[in-house]
A and B are shown apart, each in its own frame.
Chain A
C-alpha cells in the first residue's frame, strides 16, 4: 500500500499568511481577516500604548473563539470522541465546552496547524494563562509585565494560525470516514478500510474510539452498522493496537454488559472472540472511578489557576487506593505525570508531593507497561517534553526510578528514556519529534 492511499492529517496550503520578517504589530494586525477593521485598529493602539497584556488577551480570546467554533462545525460528538469525552452532544456550545488546550490539541491532531505552530500556540496559551493568574499585588510589587517581544510573537502566532485565515479548514476527509463508520457497513475490501490500515496510529486509534462511542450511545441502524464495522475493522487492526486501546474495547464490553444493552454486548463479544481479546475485559468497573479522578486532575491542570487547583483532585486519586486497576493505569499515569512534569512555568508545589507519592507506588511492571504501551501515544506528556522545566522533571523521574534499566521494546521510547538518563536535550527532542511523527504521520 502506498502513501497515496493512506489517511493523513490534513495539511493546510503552504502559503504565507503573515510575512516572516514582519514585526510591526499594526501591520500584523492588518492581516487578521477574522477581526473587524475597528478591532484591528484597537489591537494596534493597545500595542502603541504599551498595553501588551490587554492586547494579547483580546487577540487570544478572539483566536480561541474562532478556532473552537470551527472545530464545533465538525460535530460536537465527533469532537467529544477525539477528546475522550463521550458525554458531549450536538447541543453543547463548543466555545464553553472545549478548553483552550484541547482546542490547540485538536487543531494539531486534525492538521489545522503544524506541530511547530501548535507548540507556539501552546506557548501563547501558557503566557496568557500565567499573566491572567498573577495577583494584582504581585504585579504591582514585583513589576511583572508581559514584554513587547512576547506580545508581538503571540499576536503573530494567533494571526498566522487562526485569525489570518478567512475560514479554518479541518480534516473533512476523516470526518466523512467517521460518518461512513456509522451510516454504512464497510467491507474489509473497501478502499476506505485499506486506507485506514496504512494510516498513522492516531487514525486507527480514533476509529476504534469512534466505533465504541457510537455503539455505546446510539440505537437502531447506527449501532448495527458500527457493530458490523467493529467486527470488520477490529480483527484487522488488533495486532497493532496498544494495550490502552485494547482495554478500551474490553471496557466498552463491560459497560454495555452492565447497562443491559443486549445488541451491543453481543456485537462487541463477537468482535472480541475474533481477536481472542477477552483478557482485556475488566473484571469490574472499579477502574471508572480512577479514570474520573484522572480526568479531574487533567481538567485542573489545563484550566485557569492550575497551580492552586491541582492538589485536591490529585489527592483524590491518591486516596482511591494503592493499586490502580490496569484498565485505568494509562489515564492515571498520564494525569499524574502531567502534574509532576508541570508546564513551562514550573509545577504546583502542593500537588507535586502528592503526585510523587502516587508515582513512587508504580512498580517496575507498571513502568514497563507505561513505557511500552502508553507513552508513545501519550501526546500530552510528549508535548510537555518540548519545554525545559518539564524536561528537567522528566530527567529526575527517569533517574529516580531507574527507567533506563527497564526493558523497553519501542525503539523511539527507549531512545527518549536513554536521552533523559543522559540528560541530553538534543537527543530527547529528536526522539520526541520522531514519536510525534510516527503517531500522527506528520511533522
Chain B
C-alpha cells in the first residue's frame, strides 16, 4: 500500500470513529414497557420449628417474581409443542407429583424417573435424584431442555416469550431485564421456594404443642420411626425428614439406573439416590427413584426384608422383623406427615 493511500485510510478511520462515538453518546435507548420495575418483598411463611431458608443473593423473592414464576410454572408455553407445563407433572393435590410410575413428557414420551415432590424444595442442597444440579435456579432448565420432558430449547423459549403479549412486560416488571434465561430460571425458582409444607398433623403435635392430636397407633409408629430398631430417622431426619444425603437402600443387586455415580464416577456411589423428604408421602406414590413400589405397604415391606444385596447398600437397611401391628403403625405415622392445607384442601 502506498504511503498516501495509507494516510487517507487512517484519516477515514479517524473520521468514522468520531462519528460512531458521537452517535453512541447522543443516542439514548428509550425502553417502553407496560410496567415499571417493581420489587415488593415477598415474606415466606416459615413454619414453626423450621429454619430460615437461605435465599440466593441474586434472586431475592418479591411478589412480582413469585407471581411471574407461578404463571410460567403452569404455562405449557415452556414445552416444545405447548402441550405440557411444569404443573402437568407437579400437581398440587399430589404434593406436586403425578402418581405415575415414570413421568411423561411431550408426545407422551416416557421420562427417566418417577416425578419428585416439590415439597419444601427450597431446603434442598442438590437437585435431581443423582444430585448433579447445585441450585434451584439451575434445575429449572433441566426439564425444559430434556428431550423426554418438555423437549424444548432455551434459545427458542426466549424467542417465544419475547413475542408473547405479556411476558416481556412482566419480566421487566419483576427483574428489570429483557426476556432471558436468567429471568425465566429465577422467576420459576422464586415460585417453587414458596411451596412450603409445615402444618401437618405431626407438625401440630411436635411443633405446635397439640399433644393429643395423634392416635395411639400413630404414636407407636412415630416411636418406631425414630427408634434404633428401624433407623428410619437416621436418613429421613430433621424437620424435613431428609438428611439431604445420598443412599443405596438395597432396592436391587444390579441397578439399571446407576444413580449418583453418574455425577461422581465413583463406584461407591452406584445405586445411590438422594434421600427424599417424607412430608406428604401418602400423596407421592408410587415410590422409589423409578416408581417401582406402588404403595406405602410395599415400601415398609421392602425395608422390613432388608433389601437386596448390593456392596453400596446402607448398613442401616437390614431385616427389621416388624410385626403386622408395627408395620401398620409406621404407615399410620407416615400419614400424619400430610399437610392438607399445602395440598390445597
Whether chains A and B associate is no
Interface residues of A (CB under 8 A from B): none
B→A interface (CB under 8 Å)? none
